[in-house]
Amino acid sequence: MANERQVIPSRGGPRMGFQRPKNLGATTRRLLAYLGRSRYALIAVAVMLLLSTGAGLAGSYFLKPLVNNYIVPGDFAGLGRMLLLLAGIYLTGVIAAYFQGRIMVSIAQRTANVMRKDLFDKMQDMPLCFFDTHTHGELMSRFTNDLDNVEMALEQSVVQLVSSVLVFVGTLVMMYVLSPILFLVTAALLTGMIMLSVSISKKSTVFFRSQQRALGEVNGYIEEIVGGLKVVKVFGHEQVASSEFAGLNDEYRSSATSATFLSGVIMAVMGNLGRICYATAAIMGGYLAIHGRLDTGSLVAFLQYSYLVAQPINQATNQLSVVLSALVSAERVFEVMDAQPEVDDGTVTLVNVTYEVDNSEEGTPVEAPEDVVTNEWAWKVSQEDGNTALIPLRGDVRFDHVTFSYDGVTPVLKDISLYAKPGQTIAFVGSTGAGKTTITNLINRFYDVQQGIITYDGIDVRSIHKKDLRRSLGMVLQDTHLFTGTVMDNIRYGRLRATDEECVLAARRASADSFIRRLPQGYDTVITGDGANLSQGQRQLLAIARAYVADPPVMILDEATSSIDTRTERLIERGMDALMEGRTVFVIAHRLSTVRNAKAIIVLEHGEIIERGNHDTLLAQRGRYYQLYTGQSALE
């Protein structure tokens, strides 16, 4: 399909242009909304945080009465009792900190779990064009690196940041209570420290954002190269791949170095400024104590607070960088969550009904008499009068002057009109990029037409709920995808309620049963790595069996036999005929021998229908189909 549409190349942020960040305040509020789901646990964390912070502040203030009332007078017996009390205060703080950390870890894990689930659910609602413009590695980075950053910040940094703020404010209050004069001197120095810290943090935010985007780009490139490593080796491009990766890796290293450097600089600068603040307070306090303007206990307690006041600033600035990095990661996650989902305004649904068709009034299902009971599928259509009508599901698909473009500029299909009556097989042939796969993408509403209309049993496909529409369609794609699980599970993926017997029957009809039974555990053989232990032909046979078990009225075969050798192809011809019997089938094939029996063959070139007819008619015309068929026959 990629050769039929203009795909926007993307391996990450920088090469797509540096986008302006969203409002961090909005991101914070949104993250807090997720945290709000654990409000009672957060209240417990807040209580524990206040207890641990209060215990630390009270312990430092306790030095004043210890010095003034027990150490200076020499009351060592009383000092011992007070030390036991002080130990109890600190023990309370330790216990509170333990439960605070334990509860916060649970909150962080739960929050990340919910965000990861919401992100995954959002992915299910995204249109194909979203995945065309984002690499798998870039999207995986949201689930791994970004959500891991958020989780780690919630586990440790957020609580530590709040704790640091509380300790800082509490320390300032206690310092003011002990000595207003020394407090003013210390406050002047602290103001400079805070301003410097904020300045460095703002710069680090830019580098952390750049680091995360560069990491997504590196992950995207690794995923792309590892997935196509065989192609890289076939063409001998190992050196080129290494060179390109080195460039991306260097970009990530540069961003990560700058972000980490600024984070480390904050600690070093704040640490030294804290020592200057302590030395200044000691000099001024000593002077005041000598002149009798400050008692010894107050000076000792104040110096303890002066020593501690720099620590919450250091911790806050360090944790602030981590929190900002986590907010950037959350912002990237929310960007995906806020992306425009796949629009589905269809109201027509697919229902299973019991009816018989009255031939005198075609297409109108009526209630069957007791002796005639037929379980069939029908479209449930709401009418203007509030009632509903049931239209039998037959598989009548029609294109009426359809024009389509992936990018809104270059048309891929131009004024396409065609029809497939129930039970007919329609084949599309033409050069690569002619628009064959695009037609099938429009039938199942992977994309919606911009001009014209596509009807399914007389209903505009845009009026049909996408899930119900796709439920009525079966697809066998050129690029098969198998999921981790047993062979039986992969066949049953076509219809999850299918029994084992139905899955085995489907495998037999697809000529897959013989090779499956030769596998180590037969149908219970576990498939991993997208079926890496199977040949391409075997994988394709499983995909065909999966389509068999779905048993839809309309089947789309997109190069369904392109990866199957001639012998295997002949083996499944009878099964393919059985599959097509009574169904509307759209076939896309480069092997023109597979479409000779089609009711109609549509020849496409540059998005336009240039020929149509059956095999013999088109050969007699000696046009484009004749050239394609005879040229391929000569090659074969």
Q: Which structure tokens are listed for 74?
A: 């020499």
Question: How sure is the predictor about 198, in pLDDT bands with cuts at 50, 70 and 90?
Answer: confident
Distance CA 255, CA 251 (A): 6
Q: Which pLDDT score, from 0 to 100, does residue 276 have?
A: 80
Out of 38-42, 217-221, 333-337, least confident range:
217-221
Out of 72-76, 481-485, 512-516, 579-583, least confident range:
579-583
Q: Which pLDDT score, from 0 to 100, does residue 111 have?
A: 92
Q: Please determine, for residue 197, whether its predicted confidence score (pLDDT) is greater than 80.
A: no
Residues 456-470 have pLDDT tens digits of 999 999 999 988 898
Helices vs. strands in the chain: H and E counts, helices first:
21, 16
Q: Contact, 414 vs 12, CB < 8 A?
A: no
Of the candidates 255, 267, 162, the residue with the CA atom closest to the CA atom of residue 203: 255
Q: Please determine, for residue 480, whether its predicted confidence score (pLDDT) is greater than 80.
A: no
Question: How sure is the predictor about 584, in pLDDT bands with cuts at 50, 70 and 90?
Answer: confident
Q: Please determine, for residue 360, whether its predicted confidence score (pLDDT) is greater than 60.
A: no
Please list, in sequence order, all residues whose beta carbon lies within 8 angstroms of the beta carbon of residue 231, skipping any fewer than 6 positions away: none
Q: Which pLDDT score, from 0 to 100, does residue 9 have?
A: 33
Out of 100-109, 320-329, 494-503, least confident range:
320-329
Residues 420-474 have pLDDT tens digits of 888 888 888 888 778 888 888 898 888 888 899 999 999 999 999 988 898 888 8
Domains present along the chain, CATH in parentheses:
23-337 (1.20.1560.10), 349-393 (no CATH), 398-635 (3.40.50.300)
Question: How sure is the predictor about 590, in pLDDT bands with cuts at 50, 70 and 90?
Answer: low
Tell which wins on pLDDT, 582 or 171: 171
Q: Which pLDDT score, from 0 to 100, does residue 327 have?
A: 87
Q: Contact, 394 vs 553, CB < 8 A?
A: yes
Q: Which pLDDT score, from 0 to 100, does residue 572 have?
A: 58
Q: Which pLDDT score, from 0 to 100, does residue 565 have?
A: 62
Give the burial string for 581-591 (b: 16+ CB within 10 Å, else e). eebbbbbbbbe
- Edge-to-edge strands, sheet with 425-430: 473-476, 554-558, 584-588, 425-430, 600-605, 608-613
Q: Please determine, for residue 2, whether its predicted confidence score (pLDDT) is greater than 60.
A: no
- Across the chain, what does the average pLDDT equal? 81
Mean pLDDT of the 327-346 span: 86
Distance CA 329, CA 147 (A): 7
Residues 270-301 have pLDDT tens digits of 777 777 878 888 888 888 888 778 888 888 88
